[in-house]
Amino acid sequence: MVFEQTADVVIVGAGPSGIFAALGLLERGSCARIVIVEKGLPISKRACPKAKTGRCVGCDPCRITTGFSGAGAFSDGKLSLSCEVGGDLPELIGSDLAQETIGRVDEVYLRFGADTHVEGLGAPDEVKNIRRRAIKAGLKLVDCPIRHLGTEKAQEIYGFIERHLRDSGVEIMFQTECLDVIVEEGVCCGVLIRNADGTTDRIRAARTVVATGRRGADWFERLCIEHGVEHGPAPVDVGVRVEVRNEIMETVNNVLYESKLIGCPNPFRNKVRTFCQNPGGFVSQENYDDGLAVVNGHSYKEKKSENTNLAILCSHDFREPFDRPITYAQKIGELANMLGDGHILVQRFGDILDGKRTWQDELDRSNVRPTLPDAVAGDITSALPYRTMTSIMNFMMAVDEAIPGFAADETLLYAPELKFYSNRVKMNERFDTNIENLHCLGDSSGWTRGLMMASVMGYLMGERLADEEGV
């Protein structure tokens, strides 16, 4: 039996964009009945068992990628304070509004306990030197102020936000999966959900907001096809996570905290960039649907390692007739997982240059000791496509000119690092899709990439819903 309940606004996904949509509604004085549907767990229960077991136990859904605050907040908790970073939202709403809203969203994070210190300010001469070396190597440096929450501090901050939402009357339905949106005669009327006990319900709502993040990108793409939500494929990012000793990245870590370097290396000229840099951080594993294991990185406020890790991502744009970039990236990930027997693969850069796999005993005597203990030494070049691997290697050699020692023989590369942004939903500046009363936010929309810009998009959505008559 299918039961039915009603809401004014139903939000699918309790990641940053969904959370800030609810906050935007509340802070605008809305009296709307808000329901958030979340597949994962509350913040207090989002502990990864790997901390105790030493290896991934295959939680379904993954406690790192799913639950209140989503995947990004549990990686390293960095807020990029420039609209030049974090996707293409400024193209949709304008750079001035995007930057102004970053400031207001940042104030919300501060109100809930974010560190007042901002990384990347106060050393202009050192930044000029880094930029000079980057330009000489054919790279662009984007120096962006960063407010670093820290993985453990982010959990505390989002815990406060979760309690605030509940205390303000927002209903958050955990361990509840959205199966579909309800569309009748071109109008979205709510969602169909499956509860933790396996029963199904309908939530009828005046407004439906999909904010499922990267974790739900594949699901939302299928939903768009089924209901005729206008969208198009955007680039998909395939790459590796690089780990080096802190000594190599010391200058950049101290001056910028996170270096965002962009290049288009020969021979293919694909866009390659660094992303999610974690000084003193730890490489981590995330699990997606169907057991796909991908690599990511954490950076804590207090707990530190001897290494710095960051992603190097190669963007792939596809043209007709191919329109399945998410599937393309998933297949690469599945191949890497197969070679690692279900684990993340790791290989030394020097072994790639020598055309050989890496062996565990070589890692054991290396200066760079892996911070992901159950990563399997092997050959990532057997999984990543030639175009991707060649672009990454040539990019790393360029970065080595700007940051000497970056492309050392002992530098570690983990695979697969995949970013699913491939569903670019067509919408206007008010985030209206072609389906009336259906909106899409955050990374699942294809318009944002990262914690801050997803929060900005959600905050604006909430304010606009509150300003509309009848909400």
Query: Tokens 């309940």 map to which residue?
Result: 5
Higher per-residue pLDDT: 135 or 55: 135
Start-end of CATH 3.50.50.60 domains in the chain: 3-114+150-231+424-467
Q: Which residue has the tokens 């579909």?
A: 180
Is residue 43's pLDDT more than 70? yes
Q: What percent of the chain has pLDDT over 90?
A: 77
Q: Helices 95-111 and 451-467 meet at what angle, rounded to 10?
A: 100
The fourth-level CATH superfamily of domain 3-114+150-231+424-467 is: FAD/NAD(P)-binding domain (3.50.50.60)
Per-residue pLDDT for 72 more than 80? no
Q: How far is CA 24 from the centre of its chain?
A: 21
> Residue 326: which H helix or E strand, with range?
helix 325-339
Condensed to tens digits (0 to 9), the pLDDT of residues 371-417 reads 999 999 999 999 999 999 999 999 999 999 999 999 999 999 999 99
Q: Read off the pLDDT band of 330 (50, 70, 90).
A: very high
Do the bridges between strand 282-287 and strand 293-298 make them parallel or antiparallel, or are there none, so unpaired? antiparallel
- 352 dihedral zone (left: phi>0; alpha: psi -120 to 50; beta): alpha
How confident is residue 182, by pLDDT bands cut at 50, 70 and 90? very high
Rounded to whole angstroms, the Cα distance separating 444 from 219 reads 9
In this predicted model, what pLDDT tens digit does every residue of 136-159 receive, in sequence order?
A: 999 999 989 999 988 788 889 999
pLDDT the model gives residue 471: 47
**What's the rounded Cα separation, in Å, for the pair 366 and 413?**
13
**Which stretch, 71-80, 209-218, 329-338, has highest mean pLDDT?**
329-338
At residue 469 the predicted structure's pLDDT band, cuts being 50, 70 and 90, is low
| 42 SS3 class | coil
Mean pLDDT confidence for 94-107 = 98
Q: Angle 417-418-423 (CA atoms, 0-180°, nearest 5)?
A: 165
> Checking phi first, is residue 153 left (phi over 0); if not, alpha (psi -120 to 50) or beta?
alpha
Per-residue model confidence (pLDDT) at position 385: 97
**Per-residue pLDDT, 293:** 94
What is the full DSSP assignment across 277-324?
EETT-EEEEEE-GGG-EEEEEE--SS---SEEEEEEEEEE---TT---
**Share of residues in the chain with pLDDT > 70 (%):** 97
- Residue given tokens 């996707």 in the structure block: 87
Q: Which of 22, 435, 6 is nearest to 201 (CA)?
A: 6
Average pLDDT, the chain: 93
CA neighbor of 69 nearest in space, from 51, 46, 94: 46
The whole-number pLDDT of residue 73 equals 62
**CB neighbourhood size of 279 (10 A):** 23
pLDDT tens digits along 247-260: 999 999 999 998 89
Q: Map tokens 């009748």 to a residue.
A: 184
Element (H, E) at 243: strand 236-245
Decide if pLDDT at 207 tops 50. yes
